[in-house]
Amino acid sequence: MKHRLLIFALAFLFCGSSFAQQKLTLTLQEAQAYALEHNRTLKNAALDVRKAEASRWQTITSLMPQMSASIDYANMMGFKLTMMGYNIAMPAYGTLGVTTSITVSSAQIIGIQIGTIAKKMSDISLKKTEQQITNQVKTIYYSTLVMEKTVKLLEKNLENMNKLLEHTEQSVKVGVAGQTDADQIAVQVASMKATVSSTKRSMEMLYNALRLQLGIDVNTGIALAQTIEDLMNVDKAMTLLTENFNLDNNYNYQLLKESAALSKKQVNMKQWAYAPSVSTFHQYSAKKYFSDEETFDMTPPNMVGLSMSVPIFSSGSRYKALQQAQIDYKKQLNTLADTEEALVIQHKQLLYNLTSAFESYETQQKNIEVSQRVFDNISRKYEQGIASSLDVTTTGTSLISAQASYVQALMELVTAQINLEELLNTNSKN
């Protein structure tokens, strides 16, 4: 029995360990596809589409026949009706009634059109959410890769500085260098270690942000299957500068156009409030007396009817409601016109941002190469006793600054590319 318990405990621990060590290895496209399937915000957007479709059909069914049935039972406790000297029995009875009706009004017809527009807006919102999720995943994926590259650069710097520190300490022991030189480099090494640790913590925050977008547990490991060099395609990013900007491709603009159409339908609904509504019905009734006594039944088994309701006077409430809808529609048209101009201006600004980011990226790429060569050269001279420890720390600081500027320029280029893609709606996931 003890052996069985031990085996069970080991199996449980093994399974728990396997679960805790669950890890996803994802390329950028795989991460985006995973997010589109599991992201909770996107799931809510999809539910909104289904909700809008249900609401539309609810309005459509109001134009279809409506049927209701009723069953009644009445007992007059032996009462008899006296009429013209005759006593007419009023026995207990039961009634079955079935009523079918159809009502048609302009509000229902316009309501169906409004429901169709609302459904279309939900579809656009879903596509917009998909676009935002994929772009957020792309931004975080790139940011994480850039952060990993930063860590590698810092660790390489730290390795070089440790070598210089060891060399300096050996030089101090043999009396070739002063303790001050070793102290200066030791301070820089300590500072660089702190920077590496801080950068790693920032990288873990990015992984948590990616987990949130992917809709996975916080304990699930993530490994990025691509490097920043694999994904960076500067030539492809620059082709965005030559693409034409079609307003109708932009999801925000599509939503505003549909919103304007919705306001127009609201005006139509208020206009048709002056129109009559028509309803018709058929009623079937069957009465069953629970007695053999003679009586009479004045309930017709079938009855049809037609009615028309015509609005005549509402003390101006319908007119004021129409005015309000017309004003809202005009405001919506003004907003749409402003948005058209704003999007055109935004397109020009994003073109400028991408161009500037590309120029900065090229400059910082050359700067980091030069700074690395200068640091390596000074380090060799320091080891040969030609350069001072101050020269080493100065060039080391310059190298770190160049690396930081390069990383920032890289992220600015990525961000500018993603923003322009979103505006143009290129649907690019690469």
Pick the more confident residue, 359 or 386. Answer: 359
51-67 mean pLDDT: 87
pLDDT confidence of residue 343: 94
pLDDT confidence of residue 107: 82
How many of the other CB atoms lie within 10 Å of CB of 290?
10
Cα four-point dihedral sign 164, 167, 173, 178: negative
Beta carbons within 8 Å of 65's beta carbon, 6+ residues apart: 100, 101, 102
Tokens of 138: 């792309």
Q: Quick check: 142 and 210 in contact, CB under 8 A? A: no
Work out the end-to-end distance of the chain between its first and last CA atoms, rounded to an integer number of angstroms.
Answer: 57
Residue 87 pLDDT level (bands cut at 50, 70, 90): confident
Per-position b or e across 387-423, b if 16+ CB within 10 A of its CB: bebebbbebbebbbebbbbbbebbbbbbbbbbbbbbb
Q: Cα separation of 424 and 420, whole Å?
A: 6
Can you state the percent helix, strand and coil of the chain, rounding each to 5?
70, 15, 15
151-191 tens-digit pLDDT: 888 888 888 888 878 877 887 777 766 788 778 878 888 98
Q: What is the DSSP string of 19-84?
A: HHT-EEEE-HHHHHHHHHHH-HHHHHHHHHHHHHHHHHHHHHHTTS-EEEEEEEEE--TT-EEEET
365-383 tens-digit pLDDT: 899 889 888 888 888 887 7
Q: What is the biggest distance separating any 2 CA atoms in the chain, rounded to whole angstroms?
A: 143
224-249 tens-digit pLDDT: 898 888 888 888 888 989 999 999 99
Name which of 262, 296, 241 is nearest 120 in CA terms. 262
Share of the chain above pLDDT 70, in %: 93
Q: Hey, is 258 helix, strand or coil?
A: helix
pLDDT confidence of residue 427: 61
Residue 353 pLDDT level (bands cut at 50, 70, 90): very high
Beta bridge partner(s), residue 83: 86
Name which of 305, 347, 418 is nearest 28 in CA terms. 418
Which amino acid, one-letter code, is at 78?
G
Query: What DSSP character marks residue 201?
Result: H
Write down the mean pLDDT value for the chain.
85
383-426 tens-digit pLDDT: 777 777 778 778 888 888 888 898 889 889 989 999 999 999 87
Pick the more confident residue, 229 or 260. Answer: 260
Beta carbons within 8 Å of 345's beta carbon, 6+ residues apart: none
Q: Quick check: 273 and 69 in contact, CB under 8 A? A: no
**Full-model pTM:** 0.77
Q: Which CATH class name applies to 23-64+105-275+311-424?
A: mainly alpha
**Least confident piece of the model among 99-108, 243-252, 319-328, 378-387:** 378-387
Asked if the model's pLDDT at residue 7 lies above 70, the reply is no
Residue 20 pLDDT level (bands cut at 50, 70, 90): very low
Q: Quick check: 260 and 336 in contact, CB under 8 A? A: yes
315 Rama class: left (phi>0) / alpha (psi -120 to 50) / beta = left
Tokens of 53: 């479709």
Name which of 249, 269, 401, 399 is nearest 324 in CA terms. 269
Asked if the model's pLDDT at residue 1 lies above 50, the reply is no
Which amino acid, one-letter code, is at 215?
G
Q: What is the DSSP string of 98-164?
A: EEEEEEE-HHHHHHHHHHHHHHHHHHHHHHHHHHHHHHHHHHHHHHHHHHHHHHHHHHHHHHHHHHH
Asked if the model's pLDDT at residue 18 lies above 50, the reply is no
Residue 19 pLDDT level (bands cut at 50, 70, 90): very low
Name which of 277, 302, 308, 309 is nearest 99 in CA terms. 302
Residue ranges per structural domain of the chain: 23-64+105-275+311-424, 67-103+279-310
Q: Cα separation of 266 and 25, whole Å?
A: 51
**Least confident piece of the model among 64-73, 123-132, 291-300, 343-352:** 291-300
Length in residues, the chain: 430
Per-position b or e across 297-334, b if 16+ CB within 10 A of its CB: eeeeeeeeeeeeeeeeeeeeeeeeebeebbeebeebee
Asked if the model's pLDDT at residue 322 lies above 80, the reply is yes
Q: Hey, is 245 helix, strand or coil?
A: coil
Q: Cα separation of 205 and 222, whole Å?
A: 12
Q: Cα separation of 160 and 56, whole Å?
A: 68
pLDDT confidence of residue 176: 64
Asked if the model's pLDDT at residue 220 lies above 70, the reply is yes
320-324 mean pLDDT: 88
